Structure 1
Amino acid sequence: MSTATRNPEAAWRRRDRLWGMAFVAPQALGMAVFTLLPFAVAFYLAFTEWNGFGTPQWVGLANFADQIGDPLLRRSILNTLVLALVTVPIGLGLSMVLATMLNSIRRRGLYLLLLFAPVVTSQVAIALIWQQMLRPDGAFSSLIARVLGVVPPDWLANPYTALAAVCLVTIWASVGLNTVIFMAGLQNISPSVLEAAQIDGAGVLTRFLRIVLPMVSPVIFYQSVVAFISSLQTFDLVFVLVKDAGPDNGTRTIVYHIYDEGFQKSDFGVSSAASIILLALTLLITAIQFGAQKRFVHYEE
């Protein structure tokens, strides 16, 4: 008598594992080919000098030393951090306010559709539309001139306003997704908890600060981590919206710097080193966020 006949449950579990591996295999193969393999190649190239042709020449830590002393990389890191520190708090705060308002409305389908439309729109299309709106004679500038009676600057050609314009467009494009996720978190709060607090005399602001925010803090934490990582990877919006990283490299982000070094200057070793620096910066910021979550994130026990 075979083992499968003697132990049918073991045979069933073995067959179930094989089917599970078969379903997971395409995704695992795709991750290996399009994620792990490129990462391994980039990590190797970071220690070499290579222009895309011939054999890479090993240079050790020279590329990292070159990038640490490169003022363009420092400017890129500063611009990226400013972009993240401006867009993430403002974007999440605005999304929370909108989610709270929409959560109290029954017929909110149209509002959610309008808010979510930028999320499913191509970043290139968004950049092209806002590029026209931010022109000196565009709709945005014309509105400011008509309402405030002042002549607005050329937003994308001014080194002091180009990054602010990128922040504005980034917030506008991301607020819809954050609002929908925050609404899902708000709908998990039991109405009886809020009703009990109202009966005890808690006002609207008190209920929001003492009950709503603590109960949705895990969602806020998750969205803040994702939003920071996304901000550190900003490229396509800047690439299309502002020509050549803006005046005086005012909108040059880290990913744009990686693209410029690799595909414009054909220095893939330096470009790969910059990408490893971006990875280290992302891990550092994420670690700080996970360390700080113990103070403001409240999980249900």
Structure 2
Amino acid sequence: MSAPTSSPPAPATRAPEGGTRSRHVDPTRRQQAVAAWMLALPFVLLFVVFSLGPVLASLGMSFTDMKRTDIRNPFAVEFVGIDNYVKLVQDPLFRKVTLNTLLYLLLGVPLTMAVALVVALGINRVERLKGLLRVGYYLPVVTSIVAVSVVWKFLYRDNGGLFNTVLGWVGIDGPGWLDSTTLSLPALVLMAVWRNFGTLMVIFLAGLATIPQEVAEAAEVDGATGWSRFRYITLPMLRPTLLFGAVITGIGYLQFFEEAFVMTKGGPLDSTRSATYFTFDQFGFGNYGYAAAASYLLFLAVVLLTWVQFRWLGEREAKR
């Protein structure tokens, strides 16, 4: 008798793609999305109410003639289009403060970056007391800007100021630093450089730490001098760090305000009044629409400066 043949096992059925598995996954993803939005909702609401909302409101305000007297009667505000921007371009005082701000920028940014880079290179070569030096040079950054400005105002005094006293030791009659229309702005820039280079110093030290020592050692073995190593190795490898430092420093000098407010009140003869100071004054005068337009011109200047810096310092890196 022949053995009974067993029937072949039934083939295993595969669940169709997008069937049961997808029905189990989709609710989980949906729950995760809902949970994420619930967690982000408080921040989104705070951002809309306290950041995005005021920004859009000030943008709309820049196209109106709103003044302090219109707060109680907002329906009296009239839409004036770009009249505020046209008036700003034609305003001699605004053109003067724009030139002052440009001088702040052109003097302050290169000096701050140069001093910070030199100090960072020096500290990077020191083995002992490196931490103490970093804290000492960074200390002015965390010091109150008002306190720093008051101290430097005394240093710049005609009689009894430190700078004129030192000049008197060598027979030089020191000038009135903050009373001169030609010296007051460079004097403020010098103080700003002293206070702000500590931030860039820390950033440059971090950038220097990323440069491989093997590259510098190989160049030294090949006979490269210190200047050649700095020019062809250190600077190119620091390009992203220099770009970041230039952007944040440039934005800071475009918003130059506290130093002039405390030390010179924008004088003498508006020689130290910046665009930010001008905007502050216009808000104080109650010209809200005019001040909002000035603030958005300053915003456009920040965008333009950042674009130029990215083109200048970031173009070679992009081509590589």
With structure 1 as the length reference, what TM-score do the two structures score?
0.90
Residues 1:115 and 2:137 aligned together: yes
Residue equivalent to 1:256: 277
The answer to whether the Cα contact below 8 Å between 1:218 and 1:299 also exists between their aligned partners in 2 is: no
Amino acid paired to 1:86: L
Kept in 2: contact 1:4–1:11 (CA 8 A)? no
Task: Report % sequence identity.
Answer: 33
CA distance in 1, matches of 2:167, 2:31: 67
Residues 82-91 or 55-64, more deviating: 55-64
For residues 215 and 39 of structure 2, the distance between their equivalents in structure 1, rounded to whole angstroms, comes to 43
Q: 2:302 corresponds to which letter in structure 1?
A: T
Task: Give, in whole Å, the separation in 2 of the partners of 1:130 and 1:59.
Answer: 44
Q: How does 1:107-146 map to 2 (within 5 A)?
A: 107=128, 108-136=130-158, 137-146=160-169
Matched, 1:193 2:209: no
Q: Give the corresponding residue for 2:310.
A: 290
Question: What is the 5 A alignment of 1:1-301?
Answer: 7=24, 13-14=29-30, 16-18=32-34, 20-52=36-68, 53=70, 54-55=73-74, 56-107=77-128, 108-136=130-158, 137-146=160-169, 148-243=170-265, 245-263=266-284, 265-296=285-316, 298=317
Distance 1:47 1:121 in 2: 39
AA in 2 matched with 1:284 = L
Q: Is the 8 A contact 2:239 2:313 kept in 1?
A: no
Give CA-to-partner distance per residue, 1:6-64, whole Å, 9 cap, x none: 63x65655555455445544444443333222211111111111212322222222211
Q: Given the superposition, is the C-alpha separation of residues 37 and 299 from structure 1 closer, same or farther in structure 2, using an over 3 Å criterion?
A: same
The 1-side partners of 2:319 and 2:312 are apart by 18
How far has the Cα of 1:295 moved from its partner? 4.4
Q: Deviations over 1:100-139 (max 9, x none)?
A: 1101112311111111111111211211111111111222
Output the amino acid matched with 2:161.
Answer: G
Alpha-carbon shift at residue 87 of structure 1 (Å): 0.7
Q: Report the CA distance between 1:225 and its aligned residue.
A: 1.0
Determine which structure has more spread, i.e. the larger CA radius of gyration: 2
Cα shift readout 1:244-274 (whole Å, capped 9, x = no counterpart): x1111000100100011121x2111111111
Question: Secondary structure at the residue paired with 2:238?
Answer: helix
- The answer to whether the 8 Å contact 2:65/2:289 transfers is yes
CA distance in 1, matches of 2:252, 2:39: 29
| Rounded Cα–Cα distance in structure 2 between residues aligned with 1:14 and 1:57 | 47
Question: Matched residue pairs, number?
Answer: 294
In structure 2, distance between residues paired with 1:285 and 1:114: 31
What is the CA–CA distance in structure 1 between the aligned matches of 2:37 and 2:166, rounded to whole Å?
A: 58
**RMSD across aligned C-alpha pairs, in angstroms?**
2.2
Structure 2 gaps, min length 5: 1-19
Distance 1:93 1:25, change over 3 A: farther
Structure 1 residues 173 and 46: alpha-carbon distance in aligned structure 2, compared to 1, 3 A threshold: same
Give structure 1 stretches of 5+ with no counterpart.
Answer: none
Instruction: After TM superposition, give the deviation of residue 171 of structure 1 in Å.
Output: 0.4
1:234 is displaced (CA, Å) by: 1.2
Deviation (angstroms), 1:145: 2.4
